[in-house]
Amino acid sequence: MHGIVHKTLEAYVVDRTDEETWDQLLERAGVEAALFLPVSYYDDADLEAILEAVTDAAVQDRRQIERGFGRRLAPELLSTFGAHVSDDWDLLALLASLESVAESVDASSTEATLPDVSGRRDGQATVVSYRSRRDTQYCGLAHGILEGLVDAADESATVSKHDCVETGDEACTFRVALE
């Protein structure tokens, strides 16, 4: 997994706790303490172990944690992969173009393993479909990233989840509607 994900998870946790707690969570997760570099790639199992340790120590459930983390991750993803995003796109155009953005990022890196993601305009909304190719589906993370993209675009919009792989659907489907 791309290092920006690990680095942002660390920042998300430290902002809500402190460095000492982060180090304890890494120890509980069995992940060696390291400086996560945004330009490196790390084992998916490390992220999963850290998220499990955070969930075990938190009062929120896993989906709430992923969602909050996703909101924090969205602007970092935009900053890191901004070259793949047109300056002319508004929020709904960006969301409708997620498939081409993901394909462009995927083509530029041999190590990237991006989820299957697509967007379809529907009036003043965009319907986004998400499915991970990983063993773990990060539905809450996807939801939070969409909310973070709304925030980053400084728009008023509602992100609602309609379908989920965890309930047997083929993909998670979200509707992002301007208010």
| Interaxial angle between packed helices 62-80 and 3-16, expressed in degrees from 0 to 180 and rounded to the nearest 10 | 120
Domain coordinates in residue numbering, the chain: 3-59, 66-178
Task: Please give the Cα distance from 71 to 102 (Å, whole number).
Answer: 18
Q: What is the pLDDT of residues 16-45, one digit of tens each?
A: 999 999 999 999 999 998 899 988 999 999
> Which of 148, 170, 171, 169 has the alpha carbon at shortest distance from 159?
148
The CATH class, in words, for 66-178 is: alpha beta
What pLDDT, on a 0 to 100 scale, did the predictor assign at position 12? 98
The radius of gyration computed from the CA coordinates of the chain, to the nearest angstrom, equals 16
Q: Is the pLDDT of residue 79 over 90?
A: yes
Average pLDDT of the residues in 135-144: 94
